[in-house]
Amino acid sequence: MTDPILDIRNLSVSFGKLYALDDISLTVAAGERLALIGHNGAGKSTLFKAVLGFLTPETGSVSIAGHPPGTDAARIAITYLPEVVAFPRSLTGREVLAYFSGLRSATRTGIFDLLDRVGLTEAADRPVGTYSKGMRQRLGLAQALIGAPRLLLLDEPTSGLDPVSRHDFYEVIAEAAARGAAVLLSSHGLEEIQSRTDRVAILSRGALRAVGTMEDLARQAALPTTIRVTALQGEADRLQSELGGRRINGCRLEIDCTPEAKLALLARLGAHRDVLEDIDVTAPGLDDIYRHHSRSSDMEERT
Amino acid sequence: MTARIATIFIQEFSLARRNLWVLLATIVLALFALALAFFGAGQGVALDADILTLTSASLATLSVYLIPLIALLMSYDSFAGEIERGALALTLATPVRRWEVFVAKFLAQGAAVGVSIMLAYAITGFAVLPLYGAGPEGIAAWLRLIASSVLLGAVFVAVGLALSALSSRTARAAALAIGTWLVLVVLYDLALLGAIMASGEGTFASHVFPWLVIANPADAFRLYNLASLDSVPVAGIDGLARTLPFPPGAAIGALALWLVTTVSLGIARTKRIVP
């Protein structure tokens, strides 16, 4: 196992008395995509700024391919796409990329390839002011691919994009990861990233609540599967006394069970087929898993 | 280093050009200069004075208002706006040095203001020459006016950029820029006039007052241009130009000092920005 590209150890950042980041430890390996999930104000952007060297940590350390943030080596290794970025409207896409290529001492010949990779070849010589939101975001991504970066920092790169643009966006990110770049991207929710990253880290109120693959998080959350039963008129009482669960109204019943007990419960329900009108099985969704991890921590804080 | 400064310079200069700043500034300055030149020409024929000399005197008085305003308008948004739009974070994430960003922006916007001034005053000069002719004194006065105007523009571009780096919000940067213009260009003169009227003749008028005048970049610019002219009647604060305790060149030194100071302050401030 090689050393991780991004290595964050016990990082705390505070603004006055407020802790924006509290004891964060996180690594991202070469070729790995890690999604940082958290709602607004959870500390995602602050974490990025600490990695970029814009903010000085209170305690802890950040290392980018072995270099501290803000050093030349670290800045060459990192490319960044901020949450909100408005390129000058009167410049063309090609000029924007020429600007960042110049600052990163990358060759101008790479610009053609970059434009092609994000599908902006046709619009390359139009002013950015005429671009759609998706095109501007793709230009931002192209900018983040200049000079074969080793760590991509993408702050909510796909918020506000339509599903097709989002899909294309993640394809380009996957290509970059396949070439060996570490990718750290942030997002509002698990729904958005689905299975497009290798690992997920959930950040809430400046602290890491859970880190792992999507399957890990689902297992840790151990959320019940919910079976909603609609019984015939007047039969719901009898079903509840036999199977348990919550009564929603006169003929509807909700039963929670572990994923393993689901089949057995369904078989028992089958025995009451004559009084059933409908059965609906709901496995916990990605948002439920996210809510579980970020909310359970809130409750710990209140106690 | 130079490659990065050149990269930012190219972007900033083409932005100033495409946002029509260069064109607009050139037109405004040229219109005023032409109006003053041809208005002055009407009197100048009667006075038997050199038209370019006459016009450079009146244009120096007008440039004091216009050039700082143009320079501040061009520069006040440069850092604040980029911080608000997130563009500066992207720039600073690259290996560029912060001082390189400030210097490149300063050079580009200073060049944009400078090109506008040179174009506008060159157009005026060439429009007047064939009609009324000009002596060597007039041409020298005109060249002095152009050179010192470019320097004045550079000083106020540096002031605007430093204020922009200081405020990190567009609205606040705009307020600071307008406030600075009012204080340095309008209120400072009024305060000096009040002071000289209250104190009358004395050590204040002869020893303190001239230094207070060249301490302000706008007044230093005007003083330099008027003090260098011999044949034009001047009045008010500008009457001082006749009794200076220092050579007119000292005013250029004052402008240069302002330039170095504001650029240094701006760089120091840029290093503290959290984008």
Supply the pLDDT for residue B143.
94
Mean pLDDT of A110-116: 93
A152 & A243 share domain:
no
Between residues B234 and A39, which one has the greater pLDDT? A39
Tens digits of per-residue pLDDT, B262-274?
999 999 999 999 8
Q: Give every CB contact of residue B68 below 8 A, 6+ residues apart in sequence.
A: B152, B153, B156, B181, B184, B185, B217, B218
Whether residues A103 and B4 touch (CB distance < 8 A) is answered with yes
pLDDT surpasses 60 at A1:
no
A98 & A167 share domain:
yes
CB contacts of B93 in chain A (<8 Å) are 52, 75, 78-80
CATH at residue A180: 3.40.50.300
Structural domain boundaries in chain B: 2-270
CB A166 within 8 A of CB A258: no
Confidence label for A148 from pLDDT (cuts 50, 70 and 90): confident
Buried b or exposed e, range A16-54, using 16+ CB within 10 angstroms: eeebbbbebebbbbbbbbbbbbbeeebbbbbbbbbbbbb
Confidence label for B46 from pLDDT (cuts 50, 70 and 90): low
Answer positive or negative: Cα dihedral of A195, A148, A25, A18.
negative
A11 & A54 share domain:
yes
Q: Which one, of B249, B247, B251, B231, lies nearest residue B53 by Cα?
A: B231
In a domain, A294, yes or no: no
pLDDT surpasses 90 at B118:
yes
pLDDT surpasses 80 at B101:
yes
Supply the pLDDT for residue B265.
97
Mean pLDDT of A58-70: 94
Q: What span, in angstroms and rounded, lies between the C-alpha atoms of A101 and B7? A: 9
What torsion, rounded to 10 degrees, do the Cα atoms B29, B113, B223, B263 define? 160
Supply the pLDDT for residue B242.
60
Confidence label for A302 from pLDDT (cuts 50, 70 and 90): very low
Confidence label for B45 from pLDDT (cuts 50, 70 and 90): low
Q: What span, in angstroms and rounded, lies between the C-alpha atoms of A168 and A6? A: 25
pLDDT surpasses 70 at B233:
no
Query: DSSP assignment of A146-205, as one string?
Result: TT--SEEEESSTTTT--HHHHHHHHHHHHHHHHTT-EEEEEES-HHHHTTSSSEEEEEET
In a domain, A299, yes or no: no
Q: Please, what is the Cα angle at A90 between B162 and A120, to 5 degrees? A: 125
Q: What span, in angstroms and rounded, lies between the C-alpha atoms of A7 and A28? A: 7
Between residues B228 and B122, which one has the greater pLDDT? B122
pLDDT surpasses 70 at B44:
no
A97 & A228 share domain:
no
Query: DSSP assignment of chain A, as one string?
Result: -PPPSEEEEEEEEEETTEEEEEEEEEEE-TT-EEEEE--TTSSHHHHHHHHHTSS--SEEEEEETTB-TTSHHHHHHEEEE-SS----TTSBHHHHHHHHHHHTT--TTHHHHHHHHTT-TTTTTSBGGG--HHHHHHHHHHHHTTT--SEEEESSTTTT--HHHHHHHHHHHHHHHHTT-EEEEEES-HHHHTTSSSEEEEEETTEEEEEE-HHHHHHHHTPPEEEEEEEPTT-HHHHHHHH--EEEETTEEEEEE-GGGHHHHHHHHHTTGGGEEEEEEE---HHHHHHHHHHHHHHHHH-
Confidence label for B245 from pLDDT (cuts 50, 70 and 90): confident
A213 & A263 share domain:
no
Q: What span, in angstroms and rounded, lies between the C-alpha atoms of A85 and A156? A: 11
Residue A142 Cα, gap to closest chain B Cα (Å): 13
pLDDT surpasses 80 at A299:
no
A181 & A229 share domain:
no
Cα nearest neighbour of A88 on chain B: B15
Residues above pLDDT 90, as percent of chain A: 49
Confidence label for B131 from pLDDT (cuts 50, 70 and 90): confident
Which range marks the domain in which residue A122 is found?
A: 6-219
pLDDT surpasses 90 at A84:
no
CB contacts of B86 in chain A (<8 Å) are 82-86
Mean pLDDT of A135-150: 92
A61 & A74 share domain:
yes
Q: Please, what is the Cα angle at A27 between A26 and A31, to 5 degrees? A: 145
Partner B, chain A 66-85, Cβ-Cβ below 8 Å: 72, 75-76, 78-85
Q: What span, in angstroms and rounded, lies between the C-alpha atoms of B115 and B25? A: 9
A246 & A136 share domain:
no
Supply the pLDDT for residue A296.
62
Whether residues A99 and B8 touch (CB distance < 8 A) is answered with yes
A144 & A276 share domain:
no
Q: What span, in angstroms and rounded, lies between the C-alpha atoms of B101 and B260? A: 16
Between residues A100 and A243, which one has the greater pLDDT? A100
Confidence label for A74 from pLDDT (cuts 50, 70 and 90): very high
In a domain, A260, yes or no: yes
Q: Which of B15, B93, B95 is closest, CB to CB, to A88?
A: B15
Whether residues B90 and A95 touch (CB distance < 8 A) is answered with no
Q: Inform me whether the C-beta atom of residue A1 falls under 8 Å from chain B C-beta atoms.
A: no
Q: Which of A82, A103, A104 is closest, CB to CB, to B89?
A: A82
Q: Inform me whether the C-beta atom of residue A204 falls under 8 Å from chain B C-beta atoms.
A: no
Q: Which of A203-217, B175-189, B222-236 is predicted least confidently? A: B222-236
In a domain, A165, yes or no: yes
Mean pLDDT of A56-71: 93
In a domain, A303, yes or no: no
Tens digits of per-residue pLDDT, B134-185?
788 889 999 999 999 999 999 999 999 999 999 989 999 999 999 999 999 9
Supply the pLDDT for residue A289.
85
Supply the pLDDT for residue B230.
66
Mean pLDDT of B14-27: 93
Q: Which one, of A217, A278, A216, A224, lies nearest residue A251 by Cα?
A: A278
Q: Inform me whether the C-beta atom of residue A105 falls under 8 Å from chain B C-beta atoms.
A: yes
CB contacts of A184 in chain B (<8 Å) are none
Whether residues A75 and B90 touch (CB distance < 8 A) is answered with no
Look up the pTM and report it: 0.88
- Maximum Cα–Cα distance for chain A, whole Å? 76
Answer positive or negative: Cα dihedral of A292, A294, A297, A302.
negative
A177 & A239 share domain:
no
What angle do helix axes B51-75 and B217-227 make, rounded to 10 degrees? 170
Q: Inform me whether the C-beta atom of residue A52 falls under 8 Å from chain B C-beta atoms.
A: yes
Supply the pLDDT for residue B41.
74
Confidence label for A303 from pLDDT (cuts 50, 70 and 90): very low
CB A232 within 8 A of CB A276: yes
Looking at the DSSP bridge assignments, the partners of residue A151 are: A78, A182
Q: Give every CB contact of residue A280 below 8 A, 6+ residues apart in sequence.
A: A227, A228, A229, A230
Whether residues B87 and A85 touch (CB distance < 8 A) is answered with yes
Phi, psi of B165 (to 5 degrees): -70, -30
Q: Inform me whether the C-beta atom of residue B261 falls under 8 Å from chain A C-beta atoms.
A: no
Q: Inform me whether the C-beta atom of residue B3 falls under 8 Å from chain A C-beta atoms.
A: yes
Q: Which of B7, B85, B89 is closest, CB to CB, to A103?
A: B7
Q: Which of A54, A75, A85 is closest, CB to CB, to B274?
A: A54
A73: alpha, beta or left? (left if phi > 0; alpha if psi -120 to 50): alpha
In a domain, A300, yes or no: no
Q: What is the mean pLDDT of chain A?
A: 88
Total count of domains within chain A: 2
Whether residues B95 and A54 touch (CB distance < 8 A) is answered with no
CB contacts of A87 in chain B (<8 Å) are 87
Q: Inform me whether the C-beta atom of residue A90 falls under 8 Å from chain B C-beta atoms.
A: yes
Q: Which of A23-27, A72-76, A233-237 is predicted least confidently? A: A233-237
**Tokens 């609540």 — which residue?**
A209
Tens digits of per-residue pLDDT, B67-81?
999 999 999 999 999
Most confidently predicted of A104-108, A217-221, B204-208, B246-250: A104-108
Distance of CA B134 to the CA centre of its chain: 26
Mean pLDDT of A272-285: 84
pLDDT surpasses 60 at B234:
no
A117 & A232 share domain:
no
Which tokens hold the place of B219? 């007044």
Partner B, chain A 110-169, Cβ-Cβ below 8 Å: 143
Q: What span, in angstroms and rounded, lies between the C-alpha atoms of B266 and B273? A: 11
Most confidently predicted of A252-261, B170-179, B193-202: B170-179
Residue A144 Cα, gap to closest chain B Cα (Å): 9
In a domain, A72, yes or no: yes
Whether residues B91 and A103 touch (CB distance < 8 A) is answered with yes
Residues above pLDDT 70, as percent of chain A: 97
Residue B107 Cα, gap to closest chain A Cα (Å): 16
A202 & A272 share domain:
no
CATH at residue A231: 3.30.70
Chains A and B form CB pairs within 8 A to the count of: 73
Which tokens hold the place of A112? 């053609």
Residue type, A228: R
Q: Choose, out of A14, A91, A99, the residue to mutate when testing the contact with B (most B CBs < 10 Å).
A: A99
